[in-house]
Structure 1
């Protein structure tokens, strides 16, 4: 997992990351390198630890053991101004878009600019409208409320907000959840375009394999809290790993046991 990547230092370097909730071990010694400018993907079933991994990197959860470095700076244990400075490098597209219902669309997009960067409202609004245009939404949409948007439009607004501060690292949490296949493809293409234009590093988590193939350069699979395979996404069909093979083909039979209770 620590292969040389043109001798670049990792943008995000994770070593020995562990997290348990009571008796349930969710992450069990995860090692991972994500390099500058690459789109890295973590796949795995529900409850495999994908979201917990993301929350640990974001500093929302404190791991029980291990190290997370962003540009060589330790996230685990960072507090106050140090943590804020690291987080300013981040953009995030949440699974359900997580828009503020009480704010118009443009203000949702500009939230990090106004609250985090203290930009004047007019300047923040101009940037917000520019980012909305980048995801194919016109100026009129900026004045709507989130309640007036379709699922696909909400996701676009969420993406516009994720890129508004021009972050160095963007996190995508199940970016196509709740979308039909065509809108899922549209969102994936927008993600790829926006990440490329920013020159950002991307980390996505998903169990949508069609989306996974479209948005990522490299993929890692989490199973029982451990990385059991990592490689180029283009080679995932020939991984030689029975767990990966079962997961990406959506087969009920295989080494992954689904927790299903009899009715």
Structure 2
């Protein structure tokens, strides 16, 4: 009998994806252990978001294998894909709240639409999750348009944890926030992930966030993972690409295009 505690929650082997002539992922190999918080860093256009979309089945990889809890998910569709994705919660980059729904309805969306839960029970859970991210009951009746950027992120986090998923994805969780609010969100991410005992996969270019929420860091460059290690070792990675990125230096092996050719 397989010991599931040793099976990676997510495993990617040789995952490749191109869009026309543009090769975005060129053979990604990555394991994410149960209960681990892994942060993927890398510049804009390095393929971080495409990698998440491949795991979720929103984009089909051209090659390679993706496993979730030991089950291969590449090529899944319909109910089989829905079953896998119900294990995953996600905080989107810009919260991605539905303007037509109020706050509690946004938080309860997955419970009602994905799990068929009754409105009253889903509403009670939504208010519990809002409280967990520091939002009052009154906020639950507001529309997304009435929220600040930081409040939208909190609502997005409450929605991500509403179904108590085994895996949570965080897509640039601090983008657009001032440093203080960004730290508040980072603290909430650590607290909620720890409380749930969830496995977390985050993508960010915010190094303060990476250091706060990650157990381990991996850098994606030109479609491949070029370094991975404990967050405590990132300042001594021995990798010139990582060193340039985390210190925000213009000079180094990473060359950014600053004008159209």
Q: TM-score, normalised by structure 2?
A: 0.97
Could you say which residue in structure 2 is the equivalent of 1:235?
A: 233
Could you say which residue in structure 1 is the equivalent of 2:118?
A: 120
Could you say which residue in structure 2 is the equivalent of 1:79?
A: 77
Could you say which residue in structure 1 is the equivalent of 2:186?
A: 188
* Pairing partner for 1:209 from 207, 210, 214: 207
What are structure 1's unaligned runs of at least 5 residues?
1-6
Aligned 1:1-263 pairs, distance under 5 A:
8-261=6-259
CA distance in structure 2 between the partners assigned to 1:259 and 1:130 by the alignment: 46
CA distance in structure 2 between the partners assigned to 1:222 and 1:262 by the alignment: 24
CA distance in structure 2 between the partners assigned to 1:31 and 1:128 by the alignment: 36
Offset from partner CA, 1:149-171 (integer Å, 9 cap, x none): 00000000000000000000000
Instruction: State the aligned residue count.
Output: 257
Offset from partner CA, 1:10-68 (integer Å, 9 cap, x none): 11011000000111100001000000000001000000000000000011000000000
CA drift of 1:74 comes to 1.0
What are structure 2's unaligned runs of at least 5 residues?
none
Residue 178 of structure 1: SS of its match in structure 2?
Answer: coil
CA drift of 1:261 comes to 1.1
Could you say which residue in structure 2 is the equivalent of 1:4?
A: none
CA distance in structure 1 between the partners assigned to 2:259 and 2:237 by the alignment: 31
CA drift of 1:9 comes to 1.6
CA distance in structure 2 between the partners assigned to 1:179 and 1:217 by the alignment: 23
CA distance in structure 2 between the partners assigned to 1:233 and 1:89 by the alignment: 26
CA drift of 1:8 comes to 1.8
Q: TM-score, normalised by structure 1?
A: 0.97
CA drift of 1:80 comes to 0.9
Residue 225 of structure 2: SS of its match in structure 1?
Answer: strand
Runs of at least 4 residues of structure 1 off by over 4 A? none
CA distance in structure 2 between the partners assigned to 1:57 and 1:44 by the alignment: 18
Offset from partner CA, 1:55-105 (integer Å, 9 cap, x none): 000110000000000011111101111101000100000000000011010
CA distance in structure 1 between the partners assigned to 2:48 and 2:243 by the alignment: 18
